[in-house]
Amino acid sequence: MSTSNEHTLTKLKPQGPIYSITPFTLLDYPDKTACILWFAGCNMRCLYCYNPDVVLNKGSLSFEHVYRFLDSRKGLLDGVVLSGGECTMHKHIIPFIEKIKAMGFTVKIDTNGSRPMILHQLINDELIDYVALDFKALPDRFQYITQSNLFSKFEQTLSLLLTSTIKFEVRTTVHADLITTTDLIRMVSYLQTRGYKGNYYIQYFVNNVKTLSDLRFSPKELKRELLSTSQINLIFRE
């Protein structure tokens, strides 16, 4: 799930996998000017998800529409962020990214880690440049929060990224009723045990927006200095 929830809609009849395009962002791709392509559909139903329209509805933009848009942004944008929803679910995602790369853009994907084989091919074929991996929860909370049984797939994806040379980040969205301070300490320990080093991004739940479930107001009470370790540095994103 991306840090941005602004969607620019083009009024077309449903005809493709893309729900909407955010034409410009400086927040979602480190050190790059980029656009965001929001893929419709997801294989998780995270309780805190603030993109319910993207997750539950069908796309309205075709790949050809996206190609025309990107062609008009050559020289203006550095990269393209593929978010959603879950972009790796689409059966034509690989040739789609091949086309984007051929146009001269770098590519970042936001993923829940549920399609490790697709990610493996994208990395091997050098089709992606950066990955943001959502760490939803540990197994005892994962199924409840995501309404899925995909933790083992997440683990495979994390292992793949740890053994590759591609740049990636791990991030977690926190709602006080779903992820407690104790849970987060355990999640940091899990990442450290797996060999992850570097920044671990924490995104606070966005209050007062429509989400997939009815959640109460969540305060921002976590303290970075109590959670970071010598190997893992927590960074809080608004």
For strand 34-39 and strand 18-25, is the pairing parallel, antiparallel, or unpaired?
A: antiparallel
Q: Decide: pTM greater than 0.75.
A: yes
CATH number for 226: 3.20.20.70
Cβ-Cβ contacts under 8 Å for 27 (sequence gap 6 or more): 3, 4
Return the structure tokens found at 59: 């796309």
Is residue 4 assigned to a domain? no
Phi-psi region of 70 (alpha: psi -120 to 50; beta: other; left: phi over 0): alpha
**Which residue type sits at 178?**
L
Domain with 196, as residue range(s), is: 18-237
| Contact (CB, 8 A) for 210 and 55 | no
Total domains in the fold of the chain:
1
Distance separating alpha carbons of residues 30 and 34, to the nearest angstrom: 9
Is residue 5 assigned to a domain? no
Is residue 93 assigned to a domain? yes
Return the structure tokens found at 201: 């991004």
Is residue 8 assigned to a domain? no
200-236 per-residue burial string, b: 16 or more CB within 10 A, e: under 16? bbbbbbbeeeebbeeeeebeeebeeeebeeeebebee
DSSP-based three-state secondary structure for 68 = helix
H or E stretch at 123: helix 116-124
Is residue 101 assigned to a domain? yes
Is residue 127 assigned to a domain? yes
Q: Which pLDDT tens digits describe the chain residue by residue (238 residues)?
A: 555 544 544 444 556 899 999 999 999 999 999 999 999 999 999 999 999 999 999 999 999 999 999 999 999 999 999 999 999 999 999 999 999 999 999 999 999 999 999 999 999 999 999 999 999 999 999 999 999 999 999 999 999 999 999 999 999 999 999 999 999 999 999 999 999 999 999 999 988 888 899 999 999 888 878 799 999 999 998 7
